[in-house]
Every structure is written in C-alpha cells, then in structure tokens.
C-alpha cells in the first residue's frame, strides 16, 4: 500500500469530496431513473452526458437558469445528431469528424477560455463510441433531458445557497439565440486565422479526431475507442503541455490497471466489486476540481475496466487498455509535432 501511495503520490488533502459526492450522486440517480424507464444502453449515455455537463470546468456552460439550460439542451440535440450521422458510413464519418471538432473549438473556446470546447467535444465523441441508432435517438434525448433536469434541481435549487435571491427576471431564450448567432459568426470567422492559438488547435484536433475515429474503427481494432480517446484527449490547446499530459495519462492508466487487477483477483464478491466501481467514480470526480490528471486517469481506468469485463477477460481488457493508451499518446505527440507545430 505504501508503494502504491508513493508511486501515485495521492494527495487526499486536495480531494474535493463535496464536489465528488454531489456529482456522483447526480450521475447514479440519473443512471438509475433512466435505467428503470429506458434500459441500461440508453440510460448510460444520458447519465454520462449529465455527468460531463456538470463536472467539466467551463464557464461557458455554467448555468443558473432554465432558459440557459434549454438553450444548451438544444445544442446537445444538434451535437448528438451529428455524432449519430458520423456512425452511418465512412464518407460521413470522415467529413463530420473533420468539420465538427473544428467548429466546436472555434465557437466554444477563445484565448481566455481555451477549454470551452471540452463538454461538446466529449459529447460528440461519446455518441460515436457508444453508437446511437436512429431508433434510440428519441429515447436518448428524453433520457438526457431527465438527467439535466435532475442535475439542475439538485445543483441549482436544492444545493444552491443563493437561489432564493436570484432575479426572477430570467433572460428569454430568444436573447441567447440572438447573442450566440452574432458572436458565433465572428468566432467562426476568426477560426480561419491560423495566427491564433484556438485556430491551430481546432485544425489539429479535427484532423486527429478524423484519423482516430476512422482508421482504428474500420481496422476493427479491439476496444478501438480507448485508443481514439487516448489520442484525442491527450492533445492540449497549449502546445507544450502535451508531453506532460501524455506522461500523466500513461502513468495513471498503468497504476489503474494494477489496482484493478489486484482488486479483481482478491475480491470475489459481486456487491463489494460494485462498491469499488462506485468508489472509483467518486474519486475520479473528486480529483477533477484540483486538476490532478494522473489520479483522474487512475480511477477512470479502473471504472472502464470494471465495465469492460462484462464482455472480456480481466487480463485481456487490461492489456488492451495499456497498449491502446500507449499507442494513443504516442500518436498524439506525433500529430502535435506534424500539424501546425510551434514556430
């Protein structure tokens, strides 16, 4: 235990358990309710979107009113539909994966908020990974809406200290559309200026996404989306951050695999294993506000492997995870050097 703690350098004093408990509760409540109504396949995607919406630090999507959450829900519908189209055939997948990440980065990020794209980009790739069919589309949108309402009620009403003092004069939805249309046109136009950090990153992310989500998927590599996610999520808007992100991802993934295998072979009780999976979700979320990437990757790896052993032997899943993360990080570093490198 001391070896693992020293290797991982866990800093429990910097864990935000209040944050972790809140959003783990929202995730599990959304998952449970939607599982009862629609089944696990639909509910898992809706719960993940709810989780991503509330845990990704992003001032562009922080909401305090139902009109804003409605506006963002309409964006979710659009991005979800584009993610669905990207799974239909090779040509659509290529075109959409080249276009959508570029537009998302341009519209939701700027020089002062370079991570503004994160939520919608994660949503876009999640839809492709999980595979939404046309028959599932309507149920998925209802499931997502229920998840967002659950999050809104708990986060903005029950847990909010100042919700009673909020102005009752809520901005109209129309105003958000007018403001966003004007600003989005300017942002998209500026996105073609390759002297801007946001623009070069948008191009780099689009090319990398198209390559990862087409090449590996159509080669039918086992757990191809782990490779794609490792590649795309290792890229960073700040050019020289990628080596650090790659190292943290590899380190966290290796330790997460070790922890998972130890627990898998020592714990034979299904109930305890389920508790450990829930605990991994809690710890992963609790580390996010402190931006401890290594620890986040440890517990996200544990969580991913916990779900993967439904269809794969534990050691096989672990080997896929390690190999895909290693290759994905390596490709991200190469693409970072080849596509609009630093001058």
Write out pLDDT tens, residues 161-205.
655 444 444 445 555 556 666 666 566 666 666 677 778 888 889
Bridge partners of 110? 113
Say what the pLDDT of residue 188 is. Answer: 63
pTM, two decimal places: 0.80
Token code pair at residue 56: 């990704």
CA atoms within 13 A on the CB side of 173: 9
pLDDT tens-digit readout, 254-268: 999 999 999 999 988
* Contact assessment for residue 334 and residue 265, using Cβ atoms and an 8 Å cutoff: no
pLDDT tens-digit readout, 62-83: 445 566 677 778 888 888 888 8
Give CA separation, 203 vs 51, 122, 242, 273, in Å: 27, 17, 16, 42
C-alpha to C-alpha distance for 232 and 334, rounded to whole angstroms: 12
pLDDT tens-digit readout, 285-342: 888 877 778 888 999 999 999 988 888 898 999 999 999 999 999 999 998 888 877 6
Return the closest-CA partner of residue 191 out of 259, 108, 71. Answer: 108
Q: Which of 6-15, 113-122, 138-147, 268-277 is predicted most confidently?
A: 268-277
Per DSSP, 309 falls in state T
CB atoms within 10 A of CB 41: 16
C-alpha to C-alpha distance for 270 and 264, rounded to whole angstroms: 10
């Amino acid at each position: 235990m001391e070896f693992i703690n020293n290797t991982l350098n866990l800093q429990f004093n910097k864990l935000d358990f209040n944050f972790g408990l809140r959003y783990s509760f929202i995730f599990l409540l959304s998952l449970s309710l939607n599982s009862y109504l629609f089944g696990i396949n639909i509910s898992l995607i809706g719960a993940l979107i709810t989780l991503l919406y509330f845990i990704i630090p992003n001032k562009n999507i922080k909401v305090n009113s139902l009109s804003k959450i409605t506006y963002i829900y309409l964006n979710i519908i659009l991005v979800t539909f584009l993610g669905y189209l990207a799974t239909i055939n090779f040509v659509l997948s290529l075109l959409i994966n080249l276009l959508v990440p570029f537009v998302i980065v341009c519209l939701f990020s700027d020089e002062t908020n370079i991570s503004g794209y994160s939520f919608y980009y994660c949503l876009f790739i999640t839809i492709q990974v999980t595979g939404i069919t046309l028959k599932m589309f309507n149920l998925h949108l209802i499931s997502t809406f229920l998840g967002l309402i659950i999050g809104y009620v708990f986060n903005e009403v029950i847990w909010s200290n100042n919700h009673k003092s909020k102005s009752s004069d809520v901005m109209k939805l129309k105003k958000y559309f007018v403001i966003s249309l004007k600003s989005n046109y300017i942002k998209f136009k500026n996105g073609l200026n390759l002297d801007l950090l946001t623009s070069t990153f948008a191009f780099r992310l689009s090319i990398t996404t198209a390559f990862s989500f087409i090449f590996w998927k159509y080669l039918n590599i086992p757990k191809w989306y782990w490779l794609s996610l490792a590649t795309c999520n290792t890229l960073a808007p700040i050019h020289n951050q990628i080596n650090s992100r790659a190292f943290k991802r590899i380190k966290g993934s290796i330790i997460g695999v070790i922890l998972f295998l130890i627990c898998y072979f020592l714990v034979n009780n299904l109930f305890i294993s389920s508790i450990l999976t829930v605990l991994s979700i809690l710890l992963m979320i609790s580390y996010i506000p402190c931006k401890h990437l290594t620890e986040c990757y440890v517990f996200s790896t544990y969580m991913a492997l916990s779900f993967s052993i439904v269809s794969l032997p534990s050691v096989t899943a672990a080997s896929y995870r390690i190999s895909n993360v290693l290759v994905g990080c390596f490709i991200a570093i190469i693409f970072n050097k080849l596509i609009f490198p630093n001058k």
